[in-house]
């Protein structure tokens, strides 16, 4: 198989490698970069567990080939929050509002919500529910996730 050279900035760090054309970004992040916070759920782009941002846009990394992200800026769940381990406003709100249970979907939700609030810092509850519609959770019933997004929005507004 032919391998392609890629260079991707991941969480602020330039990463290079050689990948087969068919290797997904999710698999490259997990296998080659050791960033296992990007979870693989459905592997069809439906559940949102593998959400990362590419150049600021939330995307399903199971649907993107690593070669497509060549030259891009990628942020995974490991890149959210402080380098000293402090939680981001979104992570802290999920913790305080009990917006997670088993935790499998949480990384995808946190990345999606972070991107969503950057684009819509003062969303209504309806906009939040619409913004969350691409992520699935089997445990929480979504009420506490919506509360977490509302809390994070308020916290982020106070910080600016």
Q: How open is the CA angle 101-53-7, to the nearest 5 degrees? A: 130
Average pLDDT over residues 103-120: 97
Closest CA relative to residue 42, chosen from 69, 56, 61, 23: 61
Axis crossing angle, helix 143-159 with helix 106-119, rounded to the nearest 10: 40
Residue 160 has pLDDT above 70, yes or no: no
Q: Does 140 lie in the same domain as 110?
A: yes
Q: What are phi and psi of 57, to 5 degrees?
A: -100, 130
Same domain, 65 and 125: no
pLDDT tens, position by position, 53-87: 999 999 999 999 999 999 999 999 999 999 999 99
Tell me the residue range of the domain where 9 lies. 3-78
* Average pLDDT estimate for 98-120: 96
Better-scored residue on pLDDT, 155 or 140: 155
Mark whether 8 and 66 lie in a shared domain: yes
pTM tops 0.75: yes
**Residue 111 confidence (pLDDT) above 80:** yes
Cα angle 59, 64, 65 (rounded to 5 degrees) comes to 155
């Amino acid at each position: 198989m032919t391998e392609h050279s890629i260079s991707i900035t991941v969480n602020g760090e330039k990463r290079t490698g050689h990948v087969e054309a068919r290797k997904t970004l999710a698999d490259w992040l997990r296998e080659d970069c050791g960033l296992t916070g990007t979870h693989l759920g459905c592997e069809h782009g439906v559940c949102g567990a593998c959400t990362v941002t590419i150049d600021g846009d939330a995307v399903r990394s199971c649907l993107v080939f690593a070669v497509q992200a060549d030259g891009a800026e990628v942020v995974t769940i490991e890149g959210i929050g402080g380098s000293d381990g402090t939680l981001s406003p979104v992570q802290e709100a999920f913790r305080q509002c009990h917006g997670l249970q088993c935790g499998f979907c949480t990384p995808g939700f946190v990345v999606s919500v972070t991107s969503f609030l950057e684009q819509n810092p003062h969303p209504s509850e309806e906009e939040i529910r619409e913004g969350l519609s691409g992520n699935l959770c089997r445990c929480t019933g979504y009420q506490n996730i919506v509360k977490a997004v509302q809390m994070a929005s308020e916290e982020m507004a106070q910080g600016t």
